[in-house]
């Protein structure tokens, strides 16, 4: 009987240990118990990941009139500046994306927020440890690239519910410094709405036009950028300034610090293996840009590039592609097949072509183009044609005369 008592005591001890471990795990989870409901979990994820660009959900309603599968695909990789799915390098698991979709679909079904409980707080990032030597020194405070414009009560009363007035005010606050009033430059003339959104969100390479999207370090969320584009499109459709209160179009008082010249960073020249670049060109680029870059289905590449830093311009074009064209992004960081070293090799190859365009230098067309054609050769050809015509007519006349002359 003694061994039975010992077995019973051991079983009780194991049971108590399991209960203690489960209690400790539940205490360690903390707010995770609130995430049993996927809608609540999705609301918490939306607050931590989406609000910074889209604002509260009722501002943009990104899931309006969308099917569940379509919304999931857009969150995963297809419809946002960020590919959120971990399969594409994003931070969210499939379960988390399903929770986001559940929250958005529930919001749209009810026409209001489906969450009535208080959400757990968002996690605070743990700062990286600082060495003793660094902590002894005063670390400089970084200056933000953009300052948020503050809307006073008068402007808020005008712009609330009026996207045109809101976009005009945002344009004046963020764009007037470089572009002046819109009628001065009309930088949206002839451009599609999607093109304007893309440029404002991502900026323009090799220019002072910086990205304004919060995803790119700028100050504006998607709703604010859409309002600016709405104002530009309205201006272009009218062909003149829309009727708006003067307060909306009053430019801000410039900060003297903002008037200081912006010095571009010094970026070293891109170096690559042009021989390897030629192999890559034949494999990936020749089918569209033609043999040795002379152009075929796509533009000619054996050109002098009309920019101050041709190496950076060509590198960016290959890396990111050309928006709105068949020129895809080729960098692995953008989902393409090429490494950075491969892109540098292509840049080196194209820059050798811009210095001296290949292949065509020895072609018949280039020989004629470098001569006095059509001056000398045109005169020679004209003489040959006239002589041949005269000779042919002489033979025809002689034959005709021999036929009609009677024999004696």
pLDDT per residue as tens digits for the range 201-244: 888 876 778 888 887 888 888 889 999 999 999 999 999 999 99
pLDDT digits (tens, 9 = 90+) for 90-128: 788 888 889 899 999 999 888 888 888 888 887 764 444
* Tokens 């009987």 -> residue: 1
Whether the CB-CB separation of 318 and 330 falls below 8 Å is answered with yes
Which pLDDT belongs to residue 124?
A: 61
> What is the band of 372 on the pLDDT scale with cuts at 50, 70, 90?
very low
Which pLDDT belongs to residue 295?
A: 81
Which pLDDT belongs to residue 343?
A: 93
Which pLDDT belongs to residue 361?
A: 41
Average pLDDT over residues 47-57: 82
- Higher pLDDT: 6 or 174? It is 174
Collapse the DSSP code of 55 into the 3-class scheme (helix H, G, I; strand E, B; otherwise coil) and give the result. Answer: coil
Flag whether pLDDT at 50 surpasses 50.
Answer: yes
Query: Any bridge partners for residue 338, and if so which?
Result: 331
Flag whether pLDDT at 142 surpasses 50.
Answer: no
Average pLDDT over residues 289-297: 83
pLDDT digits (tens, 9 = 90+) for 7-27: 555 555 556 565 655 554 444
Which pLDDT belongs to residue 30?
A: 43
Average pLDDT over residues 252-256: 77
Q: To the nearest 10°, report the CA torsion of 131, 143, 151, 237.
A: -120
Flag whether pLDDT at 403 surpasses 90.
Answer: no
Counting residues of the chain whose pLDDT is more than 70, the rounded percentage is 71
For the 33-121 domain, the top CATH level (class) is mainly alpha
CATH topology of domain 274-358: Cytochrome Bc1 Complex; Chain D, domain 2 (1.10.760)
Which pLDDT belongs to residue 387?
A: 67
**What DSSP character marks residue 62?**
T
Which pLDDT belongs to residue 102?
A: 92
Which pLDDT belongs to residue 347?
A: 92
> What is the band of 29 on the pLDDT scale with cuts at 50, 70, 90?
very low
> What are the angstrom distances between the C-alpha of 237 and each of 33, 191, 230, 233, 386?
53, 12, 11, 6, 61
Task: Give, in degrees to the nearest 5, the angle at Cα 321 between 320 and 323.
Answer: 105
Flag whether pLDDT at 59 surpasses 60.
Answer: yes
Flag whether pLDDT at 261 surpasses 90.
Answer: no
Which pLDDT belongs to residue 94?
A: 87
Which pLDDT belongs to residue 117?
A: 83
> What is the band of 357 on the pLDDT scale with cuts at 50, 70, 90?
very low
**Mean pLDDT, the chain, whole residue set:** 76
Which pLDDT belongs to residue 21?
A: 53
Query: Any bridge partners for residue 331, and if so which?
Result: 338
0.75 exceeded by the pTM? no
Half-sphere exposure for 126 (CA within 13 Å, toward CB): 2
Q: Which CATH architecture describes the domain 153-254?
A: Orthogonal Bundle (1.10)
Average pLDDT over residues 149-174: 87
Which pLDDT belongs to residue 355?
A: 63
Q: Whose CA is closest to 177, among 279, 260, 272?
A: 260
Q: Where in the chain is the domain with CATH 1.10.760.10?
A: 153-254, 274-358
């Amino acid at each position: 009987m003694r061994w039975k008592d010992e077995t019973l005591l051991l079983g009780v001890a194991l049971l108590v240990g399991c209960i203690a471990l489960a209690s400790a795990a539940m205490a360690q989870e903390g707010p995770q118990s609130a995430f049993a409901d996927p809608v609540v979990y999705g609301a918490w994820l939306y607050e931590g990941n989406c609000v910074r660009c889209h604002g509260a959900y009722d501002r943009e309603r990104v899931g309006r009139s969308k099917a569940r599968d379509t919304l999931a695909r857009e969150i995963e990789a297809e419809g946002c500046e960020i590919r959120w799915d971990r399969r594409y390098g994003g931070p969210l698991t499939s379960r988390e994306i399903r929770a986001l979709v559940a929250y958005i679909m529930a919001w749209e079904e009810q026409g209001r927020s489906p969450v009535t409980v208080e959400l757990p707080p968002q996690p605070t990032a743990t700062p990286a440890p600082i060495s003793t030597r660094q902590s002894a020194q005063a670390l400089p405070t970084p200056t933000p690239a953009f300052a948020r414009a503050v809307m006073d009560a008068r402007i808020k009363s005008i712009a609330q519910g009026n996207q045109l007035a809101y976009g005009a005010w945002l344009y004046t606050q963020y764009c007037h410094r470089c572009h002046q009033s819109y009628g001065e430059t009309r930088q949206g003339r002839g451009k599609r709405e999607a093109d304007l959104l893309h440029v404002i969100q991502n900026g323009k390479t090799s220019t002072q036009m910086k990205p304004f999207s919060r995803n790119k370090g700028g100050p504006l969320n998607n709703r604010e950028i859409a309002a600016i584009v709405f104002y530009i499109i309205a201006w272009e459709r009218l062909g003149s300034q829309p009727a708006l209160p003067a307060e909306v179009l009053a430019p801000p008082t410039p900060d003297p610090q903002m008037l200081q010249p912006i010095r571009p960073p010094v970026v070293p020249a891109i170096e690559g293996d042009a021989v390897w670049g030629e192999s890559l060109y034949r494999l990936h680029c020749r089918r569209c840009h033609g043999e040795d870059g002379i152009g075929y289905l796509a533009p000619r590449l054996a050109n002098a590039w009309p920019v101050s830093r041709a190496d950076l311009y060509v590198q960016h074009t290959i890396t990111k592609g050309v928006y709105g064209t068949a020129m895809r992004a080729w960098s692995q960081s953008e989902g393409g097949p090429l490494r950075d070293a491969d892109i540098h090799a292509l840049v080196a190859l194209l820059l050798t072509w811009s210095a001296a365009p290949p292949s065509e230098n020895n072609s018949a067309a280039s020989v004629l183009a470098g001569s006095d054609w059509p001056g000398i050769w045109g005169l020679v050809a004209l003489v040959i044609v006239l002589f041949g015509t005269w000779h042919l007519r002489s033979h025809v006349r002689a034959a005709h005369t021999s036929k009609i002359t009677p024999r004696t």
